[in-house]
Chains A and B, each alone.
Chain A
């Protein structure tokens, strides 16, 4: 056997050499991509230099503390024109280097940095001569991230087990509706539980049709979205309009965590939020642990990757999928409660506004990983929050355009930056036992 052992160690080594070769040689298409990225950055630089900088004057003031915070930070005062020229130079430098030499493996990171610099430029330009409460924008970023991250988590749980869930939007909306009704009648906590159960019931429908009857999962998802939209709209116009007291739920108050909540900037962002926001962070951590560190997670992922293999080892594919999908649905319903119990305390038709679909985008961008999805959700939450807050101060950007931002960011992110995110291999494939 000793002769053999030498031989079989060879194979993987050869394949490593292959990967090495892959990254070192720049092919034509890679060079072209590097040039295109460079041109994009140079264009961003040109926009800042020739459009934004000449049009801005005065000091842009960014508030970093709320008036009643314990430790006050001075507002950030930035001379807008000078700052914009500096940022334009930074962009030009990055773009030029990328175009001429290329950052190779780091180029996606550099592109990300360029976008951040560009967004900062926009903020400075929009705020020039005015005051902008940066801290309240950051706080609302975290709040708006919450339903998106939870929606993404719902999708991850379903898809890791091999069931595509595009009905997240419907689960959010359903949760928002039952949350507000039960919350109005029996209090916020009951509302929260009702929302969670609603999501679970919708997921049960998804699981039943997808697993037992092998209906196309995309179609089930669309049906769930339309069903919930129609049903909640109908019930709103028929019942909630008649009985406004059923559409008036208590809002969960922000709970400030002692000491941590007093840290400047970080405190208000992460330690002075509602129960739902805390739960979101908790669920992301818990789900990551469950998926990657437990027996349940290993089996769930195996069923989403190769259900045949799992079945041949005596793991029940349908039971595992049911569990994961229902857990996912409950997370989705819970997320729905954020829209009513977490913010305004009342339900409006179609109030989720596509957050479920943005959650799906966050799931993909995050590589079907809860923590990655949270990161992606933060980008969407930020763009959402930024557009809302910019609409409040007088900028020359039309508010309609600002309202489009989160969706535009979704398209750009999903189309352009996703790259090699790999879905679970058996995602969306019904399993048929022989």
Chain B
């Protein structure tokens, strides 16, 4: 089925989310739609799937103009949306999730579970999407949950499949499998729209690429000839340098020394298993690994947020094992947490307040029981300027900042203190290319000042862009320690998948 969007325009109060967007997607082809956060990709897809109605413009399927009043009508017309955040009920079975809304019944209202299971099995066999219809969603890996979403739209007869950031939550292995599924769907004549900000993936899988910026289509590219740099420049609207410029590290004395650190959970399982790790002054150590292999616990062990069962953690010459988190934070460790909204900031506080969250209790920000708002504001104004937080209004709520600017605010707070060790967990997750570039520069600058830096990231590109040394975590253990200059993504990827463990 051929899909054409003609001059789609959609305004929200104060924002023109889509401005005269036109594009075409053809049967048996993959159209990649790329753009930064806020470029209007999601709005466009919500219009396509009937969640929003456009202010003007037309959706045309096989030459027929369509009008969708709700998601149900878009589904009926053959448009299936696979959302970035899966629309699944975790306590239901696969089959229950798939048939929800189109349940096979007997006697009018009684569920026909057997038929539901069979329907799921038929589709999963036809398209090679192996999944057990009776399994509960919450017991399944993310990659399999995504398959359930795909089966869901196929069961409803979708001819056009829209994938919103489908690889964001997948492991490298699952991404490869996902590409296989896309190829299979393509060969059966499906029209596929692939929304992403990962340029490499767009180039690898798409037949054509459309770039959005500020709600407008700013260009098309041919994946056979385009390069990542070209696409990034189109997305951002200026020249972008994706490689991080850095000179070879000059490592000094060890700053962080972890010896035989073990952490267990309430059930006695090892979360961290005999971790030995050293980070020296003036070097960046990257921790690679698939989400959930102990990286979070590693950071929380160093910052004192979780107690360790065995081993010791030394900061320079001081044994900080068992110290209180505030003590560790104040005297030696800056921490950019992995979830900025949960741990990094308080959305309903102002930018100025967020910038002193770690030091409000000390001079000059407070005297006795009173906060000194004059010095808090003064320091905030400087930081916002130095770290390019936009808009630079320190009295704004932190929750009004975009992801990239919120992250820059957190980086400003943590990097502005004079401490020997900086921990950056997922420092650029879900933020725009411009901010990624900026934060990477700041991390390298910090290293060149002689600070020891530990970067945790699930993005191999980021690990390789920043690290001087790479350690790979798998199942709570460090399974490899490698020099960044002597290894490659394939080798690290294999360790991440559990080789040699």
Contacts and interface: CB of A to CB of B under 8 A. Distances in A.
Given A1-B128, A312-B81, A25 B269 contact: yes
B83 interface: yes
Nearest to B142: A11
A21 B269 contact: yes
Contacts of B141: 8, 11-12, 15
Contacts of B110: 293-295
Contact of A298 (B52, B103, B180): B103
A297 B110 CA distance: 9
Contact of A12 (B139, B152, B180): B139
Interface string B260-295: 000011111100000000000000000000000000
Contacts of A130: none
Contacts of B72: 313-314
A310 interface: yes
Interface in B79-127: 81, 83, 87-92, 96-97, 100-103, 105, 109-111
Given A11-B144, A298-B103, A312-B81, A425 B90 contact: yes
Interface stretch (A61-69, A120-128, A209-217, A299-307): A299-307
A21 B265 CA distance: 12
B186 to A, nearest CB: 14
Contacts of A312: 49, 51, 71, 81, 83, 87
A380 to B, nearest CB: 27
| Chain B interface size, under 10 / 10 to 19 / 20 to 34 / 35 or more | 35 or more
Nearest to A310: B100
Interface string B138-154: 01110110000000100
A312 B156 CA distance: 12
Most buried by A among B72, B101, B105: B101
B89 A309 contact: yes
Interface string B39-79: 00000001001011000000000000000001110010000
A302 B75 CA distance: 19
A294 to B, nearest CB: 5
Contacts of B70: 314
B184 interface: yes
A306 B149 CA distance: 14
A396 interface: no
Nearest to B475: A14
Contacts of B101: 299, 310, 313-315
Given A12-B135, A25-B269, A312-B83, A302 B89 contact: yes
A320 to B, nearest CB: 11
A7 B268 CA distance: 28
B100 A5 contact: no
A12 B140 contact: yes
B341 interface: no
A306 B140 CA distance: 17
B130 interface: yes
Most buried by B among A7, A18, A23: A7
Contacts of A11: 140-141, 143-144
Main secondary structure of the interface of A (DSSP, over half): helix
Contacts of A29: 266
B363 interface: no
A305 B92 contact: yes
Contacts of A25: 267-269
Contacts of B180: 1, 4
A298 B96 contact: yes
B82 to A, nearest CB: 11
B177 A7 contact: yes
A310 B81 CA distance: 14
Contacts of A302: 89, 92, 100
A309 B111 contact: no
A174 B92 CA distance: 36
A314 B51 contact: no
Contacts of B266: 27, 29-30
Contacts of B83: 312
Given A22-B267, A298-B96, A425-B90, A434 B52 contact: yes
Given A12-B141, A15-B139, A25-B269, A309 B46 contact: no
Interface string A18-51: 1001110111011000000000000000000000
B289 to A, nearest CB: 15
Interface string A304-336: 011011111111000000000000000000000
B307 to A, nearest CB: 12
B139 A299 contact: no
B103 A306 contact: no
A234 interface: no
20 contacts: A7-B177, A8-B130, A21-B269, A294-B105, A295-B111, A296-B109, A297-B111, A298-B96, A298-B111, A299-B100, A299-B101, A305-B91, A306-B88, A310-B100, A312-B51, A312-B81, A313-B100, A314-B72, A314-B101, A315-B100
Closest 9 interchain pairs by CB?
A: A314-B72, A11-B141, A25-B268, A313-B101, A309-B87, A27-B268, A1-B128, A22-B267, A305-B89
Given A30-B266, A311-B71, 5 more contacts: A11-B140, A15-B141, A310-B100, A314-B71, A434-B51
